[in-house]
Amino acid sequence: KQWYQRRVAITAGGTALIYKTCYTMAVTNLSSNLKSLEYTAATIKTARSTKVLFIIIYRTGSLTSLFNQELDALLSVAFAKCDSIIVAGDLNIHFNVASNNGIISQSLRVLNSYGMVRQIYDATHVNGGSLDQIFTFSLNKQLTCTHSIDQEIRLGSDHFPVLCNFSFALVGKYFKSLEYRNIKNMDTESFSDELACIVNKGMAILDSSFEKAASDFSQASVSLLDEYAPIIKKRVAVVDSAPWFDSEYRNLRKKRRKAESNWKSTKSQEDKTVYKELCSETTTLALTKKKEYFSRVITKSNGNARTLYSMVDKELDRKQSKILPDTEDIAE
């Protein structure tokens, strides 16, 4: 199958994303009314439901600062949607001469500011230059890319085919065991009556031995509780909580899930529209919550560089182990 983004009012040209039917991809709109570039964007889900966003770009016309502005706007929306992103296509930019060209240097700075890694350094055009590029980003460093450039088979084009393979390392879920009692559904009246009998029995032998009475009462109470509300063991996945994930956002997600369930049940266009509107509203609210949270953290730092670096390391999951020098046991 393919996602094909046609040029407006022109029958030819445009960008496309071709994929195997065994995969499920969903086209996504990142920005509209772009004048300096064309793009097709779609997401694919991994086995662990992690989304990877593919953005196929073709830069049109001359390279100006407008392209860098629109590229920045495009990436800002993309990074709010996914933590793993692949940007590929004919950018038609000679990145190998970036040091001699201010506009090209600015293009690289925009991409680098989002942590995107350049993959292609060899020539992809018959006249030289790595015009066809691949940039990748993965928040947890799960995404890797290998590629090769076929300079023998061009199929009539002045560009060489760039063959690439993307590998995504799946992160295993962490689980913990919980133990609890279903107190809400037990027969509290019967439990209270039997517990009173245990108390009265314990009071009868209290004078002879307080220690024995306390031990018997404890054992009898636990046995009674096990009878009415036995311990239930449950294995649950450990999910890191986001600091910006508040009740407002949680309630909106509940509404979205309910709307999705209604749409799947009724299959009506009206319910589908409601679901799509809630999806858009949820995405916008998530982005707003993230911005507000990081703005508060930066404001509270009061210009303290150490606090800012700590925040960046935490959000990028940069955990550095402390390296201590070797030591000897003095006692030995």
Q: Are 84 and 137 a contacting pair, CB within 8 Å?
A: yes
| pLDDT tens for each residue of 188-210 | 899 898 888 888 776 665 556 67
- CA separation for the pair 40, 164 (Å, rounded): 18
Instruction: Give me the residue label for tokens 């799509």.
Output: 276
| pLDDT tens for each residue of 52-98 | 999 999 988 888 889 999 998 898 888 888 878 999 999 989 888 77
What percent of the chain clears pLDDT 70, i.e. is strictly above it?
83
Asked if residue 181 has pLDDT above 80, the reply is yes
Average pLDDT over residues 137-158: 84
pLDDT at 298: 79
Q: Are 271 and 262 a contacting pair, CB within 8 Å?
A: yes
Q: How confident is the model at residue 325 (pLDDT cuts 50, 70, 90)?
A: low
Q: Are 184 and 148 a contacting pair, CB within 8 Å?
A: no
| pLDDT tens for each residue of 24-38 | 888 888 887 888 888
pLDDT at 204: 62
Among 113-127, 234-248, 269-283, the range scoring the smallest mean pLDDT is: 234-248
User: Model-level pTM?
Assistant: 0.54
Contacting residues for 148 by C-beta, under 8 A, at least 6 apart: 162, 163, 164
- CA separation for the pair 302, 298 (Å, rounded): 7
